[in-house]
A and B are shown apart, each in its own frame.
Chain A
Amino acid sequence: MATPAQLGLMDAASPVMEEMIYFHDHVMLVLILITCLIFYSMLVLMFSKYIYRFLTDGHVIETVWTVIPAIILVVVALPSLKLLYLTDELDNPQLTIKSVGHQWYWSYEYTDYYDIEFDSYMLPIGDLVGGDARLLEVDNRVVLPVDTSVRVLVTAADVIHAWTVPALGLKMDAVPGRLNQLALQCSRVGTFYGQCSEICGANHSFMPIVIEAVPVDVFESWCDGMLDSD
């Protein structure tokens, strides 16, 4: 989860998020170089003594400052498009879960093998214990096996919500009457937090998402526990 005053991206917990961080680094370098050049140009112009009131055009420089930005855009666009298509790639998912947005909680369904369904409400502040994150903890977490390709089908029951987990590089609108598909793969064990990302009413800020990535045997035990409790 994010630490206080954090400005940068969260540490990646999925291969897609890793690629997003690398793309961010690539674009950031391009932006830093452009900014350096602009600041330098401003400095030079500020201290320049050259004045020519009748300057109307300059074909060479106009060609240069058209072609070079086009090349820069291509250098940025090619990895961007590759990443865009990578986020849509689904690698033979071994598990499919459904995430349904309600006002103002999420419900999850694991119906591949057995029927496991549960609601996930935010824990009120009074129910938090030491170490819990305020406005982020939930009563029932989404438990997933680590290193497993998972398909998440996102929809909503009333208004538009958005299912987001920044550490996994995931964000998808939950639209009533529509099923949106997400590919998810946690590359390390851990707990990953997210919040609803589409305004959906009074308690839009109070319907978080918590994913707990666990080893496969722990996931199986959790499934058994959920089935027994039903």
Chain B
Amino acid sequence: MADDTEKTWGPKHFIQNTPCARNSFLYGMGGGAVGGFAYFLWTSNPRRSYHALMISFTATVLLYWVPCRYQYAQKRIKQRMINRGLKTHIAMQGTPEAELLASAQEPGSKS
């Protein structure tokens, strides 16, 4: 039976095992701390500084997460295309169609 280890789901599992999550939260905490502290230095208002901290945290998490997931999705799609190309290449090795394709792809040959 596969997957015999017990699996539980929680925040730790989500942050450890989800791509881009760990970095998003780390940058978010750092960005929130910086934003909140900077607002406090500017205004000396602790109450609003906490608001600024929360807003900076949320904005930083989203600003890192969205591009990271987009790039991850692009890499995933390219990886699938490469996998499919390699499998097709292996399956067609030695066949007349593969040799025709190889000769067509040689530099200087007309496709």
- CB within 8 Å of B: which residues of A? 1, 3-8, 10-11, 15, 18, 22, 25-26, 28-29, 32-33, 36-37, 40, 44, 75, 131, 133, 147, 190-191
Complex A-B, nearest 4 residue pairs according to Cβ-Cβ distance, in ascending order:
A8-B9, A7-B9, A25-B18, A6-B7
Q: Contact partner of B2 among A26, A147, A190, CB < 8 A? A: A190
B54 pairs with A37, CB closer than 8 A: yes
Residue of B nearest to A26 (CB): B69
- CB within 8 Å of A: which residues of B? 1-11, 13-14, 18-19, 21, 24, 50-51, 54, 57-58, 61-62, 65-66, 69, 72-73, 76, 80, 87
Residue of B nearest to A6 (CB): B7
A29 pairs with B87, CB closer than 8 A: no
Question: Known contacts being A7-B8, A8-B7, is A25 close to B19, with CB within 8 Å?
Answer: yes
Interface CB pairs A-B, < 8 A, 12: A1-B2, A3-B7, A6-B6, A6-B9, A7-B8, A10-B3, A15-B80, A25-B19, A29-B24, A32-B14, A36-B57, A36-B58
In the complex, A202 Cα to B83 Cα: how many Å? Answer: 46
Q: Contact partner of B69 among A8, A10, A18, A22, CB < 8 A? A: A22
Contact partners of B87 in chain A: CB under 8 A: 147
In the complex, A10 Cα to B7 Cα: how many Å? Answer: 9
Question: Known contacts being A29-B61, A33-B62, is A8 close to B6, with CB within 8 Å?
Answer: no
- A-B contact count, CB below 8 Å? 62
A131 pairs with B13, CB closer than 8 A: no
In the complex, A205 Cα to B83 Cα: how many Å? Answer: 39
A33 pairs with B58, CB closer than 8 A: yes
Contact partners of A40 in chain B: CB under 8 A: 54
CB distance from A219 to the nearest CB of B (A): 16
Contact partners of A190 in chain B: CB under 8 A: 2
B1 pairs with A133, CB closer than 8 A: yes
Q: Contact partner of A37 among B14, B58, B69, B73, CB < 8 A? A: B58
In the complex, A11 Cα to B14 Cα: how many Å? Answer: 14
In the complex, given contacts A6-B6, A44-B51, what are 7 additional A-B residue pairs having Cβ atoms less than 8 angstroms apart? A6-B9, A10-B3, A15-B80, A25-B19, A29-B21, A29-B61, A131-B1
A22 pairs with B21, CB closer than 8 A: no
Contact partners of B50 in chain A: CB under 8 A: 44
A3 pairs with B73, CB closer than 8 A: no
Contact partners of A191 in chain B: CB under 8 A: 2
Question: Known contacts being A1-B1, A7-B8, is A33 close to B69, with CB within 8 Å?
Answer: no
Q: Contact partner of B4 among A3, A11, A44, CB < 8 A? A: A3
